[in-house]
Amino acid sequence: MEKRESTEITASHHPNDPNDQNDGSALIKPFAQIQAKLRLLLLTGQLLMENGADTDRTSRDMMRTAAYMGIPKDEIHLHVMYTTLMLNINDETHSYTEFRKCTRHVVNMTTLSAVSKLSWRALRENYTLDSFAQALEGIAVCARAYSFPIMALGAGAACGGFCKLFGGSWLDFFLTAVCAIFGFYVRRACTNYGFNPYAVIAITSFAATWLAYCTHFVTGTMNWYPMISCTLFLVPGVPIINAVDDFLNNFIVSGMTRALHTLLVTGSMTFGIVIAVWLGNVEDFTTVSLQPDNIYFSQAIAAAIASVGFSLIFNVPKRLLPVIAAGGIITVLIRNVAVLQFGMPQAAGSFLGAAVVGLLALRAIHIFHTPNIVLTIPSAIPMIPGVLLFRLLFALMNIRTIDSAALLAGLRSGVEAITIIIAIAVGVAIPNIFIHRYIERNKQQMINGLLARRYENEG
């Protein structure tokens, strides 16, 4: 199938097209066209898992799709892991089991939104299986909404925004953006050559950091903030948040896999940065102050730029970019006011900012018709403490040469970083933690109502 350029993906096939070969009866009989249903259910889960969905969302959307296909909840058994999906459908006389591997993990918010919309639309409009299959396969092959140069600019903007959030100047912002864009192109070149993904991250972080180091030949002074910030587009913010979300929802195996992946990515980044620092004979730059210069105007602009920059990388639908920019401003300003004005710990301030956006998203998802993950994660990403993680890994990688005080400071930074990450993830997940059953009960009532109407029409 050819790739189609689209920001919002919709079905181009009418659900009741007379040219469809199967009729609606297949949707109210669990084992009618069962092989096709299994394939479509696994493709639904694969699209979600490979494009940045947490395990709970993947399970929910697959179960909703199974309900649309007429498969009773009690007859479907689903096991979702980070790299494998296992699906079994059985009753007293039938049993069918299939597996699907998830091998390529990226972040594509447009795909997540499109799959969620499709599952609801198929229920409401009584899609035939052929119609659903055509729409789902269209989502699978649809090209990203942003070209690679635009995504590279997004990486530059995201890292530049982090630089300003740390207290850098607008010159530092520009230098950081240039180095990040260069690193983004290096990553694509290494990926195209088929390098190991963790080697790609190490090479990219080395190239971006080395260029940031070389900028002192132009400015005449060491540019610390670009060196700290230019690789932060590589920080696995979505896997970090999803790992904590998986743990909170008792998907322990998937959460552990995501957490280990996060550790490997962060370790690869640190390795590349350490090599660049060692070749440049640079002193330990992780002691640079990260105090922002202004907690209001410049921080708000930086937060909006960083959120939109990550949104371009995450392929967020264009119509939602202003919403996410506002979300980024809200999270960062609440965090800064709580920490700098009221003396709260950074973890508490980050939790408060993420929780406010998480609660606002409950209303916003109905206004903008998109899953809450599309709104909350890009808004919360600017609060990810990437530099604190670097400090921990920098200390561990230099454990033979640093003194005990520096090692203790690195460990303290690591503990603080992990606490902040958990606080952000819990804040974003506030609706799921406290009113998850209420939300799911309402959704199940909607599903039951749509299914009842279908059975009436069929009758």
Rounded average pLDDT over 427-439? 70
Q: What percent of the chain has pLDDT over 90?
A: 42
Q: Which residues pair with 99 in a beta bridge?
A: 86
Q: How confident is the model at residue 5 (pLDDT cuts 50, 70, 90)?
A: very low
175 token code pair: 């230098």
Residue 100 has pLDDT above 90, yes or no: yes
CA nearest to 310, candidates 231, 240, 381 = 381
Task: Determine the pLDDT at residue 18.
Answer: 39
Rounded average pLDDT over 156-185? 92
Task: Determine the pLDDT at residue 230.
Answer: 92
Rounded average pLDDT over 331-348? 88
Tell me how far apart the alpha carbons of residues 89 and 405 are, in angstroms, rounded to a whole number. 58
CA geometry: angle 366, 56, 323, nearest 5 deg: 35
- What is the H or E stretch that residue 101 is in? strand 95-101
Residue 20 has pLDDT above 70, yes or no: no
Q: How confident is the model at residue 17 (pLDDT cuts 50, 70, 90)?
A: very low
Contact (Cβ atoms closer than 8 angstroms) between residue 139 and residue 118: yes
Tell me how far apart the alpha carbons of residues 366 and 88 are, in angstroms, rounded to a whole number. 33
The DSSP string of 249-279 is TT-HHHHHHHHHHHHHHHHHHHHHHHHHHHH
Residue 16 has pLDDT above 50, yes or no: no
CA nearest to 53, candidates 106, 103, 122 = 106
Rounded average pLDDT over 18-44? 74
**125, 151, 158, 328, 379 from 367: Cα distances, Å:** 21, 27, 26, 18, 17
Rounded average pLDDT over 441-459? 71
Which residue in the block uniquely carries the two structure tokens 């909006």? 304
Residue 427 has pLDDT above 50, yes or no: yes
Which of residues 107 and 453 earns the better pLDDT score? 107
**82, 193, 260, 355 from 310: Cα distances, Å:** 23, 25, 22, 20
426 token code pair: 């819990």
- Look up the pTM and report it: 0.85
Contact (Cβ atoms closer than 8 angstroms) between residue 397 and residue 323: no
Residue 280: partners with Cβ closer than 8 Å, 6 or more residues away: 210, 213
Helix axes 430-458, 346-368, angle to 10 degrees: 20
Which range has the top average pLDDT, 39-48, 93-102, 344-353? 39-48
Q: How confident is the model at residue 424 (pLDDT cuts 50, 70, 90)?
A: confident
Residue 236 has pLDDT above 60, yes or no: yes
Output the 3-class SS for 281-313: CCCCHHHCCCCCCCCCHHHHHHHHHHHHHHHHH
Rounded average pLDDT over 372-394? 82
Rounded average pLDDT over 184-189? 96
Tell me how far apart the alpha carbons of residues 214 and 351 are, in angstroms, rounded to a whole number. 37
Contact (Cβ atoms closer than 8 angstroms) between residue 288 and residue 305: no
Q: How confident is the model at residue 221 (pLDDT cuts 50, 70, 90)?
A: confident
Longest Cα separation, the chain:
80
Among 173-187, 244-258, 335-349, 430-444, the range scoring the smallest mean pLDDT is 430-444
Tell me how far apart the alpha carbons of residues 337 and 334 are, in angstroms, rounded to a whole number. 5
Residue 239 has pLDDT above 80, yes or no: yes
Rounded average pLDDT over 38-56? 94
Task: Determine the pLDDT at residue 1.
Answer: 40
Task: Determine the pLDDT at residue 203.
Answer: 97
Which of residues 141 and 431 earns the better pLDDT score? 141
Task: Determine the pLDDT at residue 108.
Answer: 94
Q: How confident is the model at residue 155 (pLDDT cuts 50, 70, 90)?
A: very high
Q: How many helices and strands (H and E) does the chain possess?
A: 18, 3
Task: Determine the pLDDT at residue 394.
Answer: 74
Among 170-174, 372-376, 428-432, the range scoring the smallest mean pLDDT is 428-432
**99, 163, 378 from 303: Cα distances, Å:** 41, 10, 10
CA nearest to 361, candidates 332, 333, 320 = 320
Task: Determine the pLDDT at residue 94.
Answer: 80
Task: Determine the pLDDT at residue 7.
Answer: 39
Q: How confident is the model at residue 107 (pLDDT cuts 50, 70, 90)?
A: very high
Rounded average pLDDT over 237-243? 86
DSSP for residue 231: T
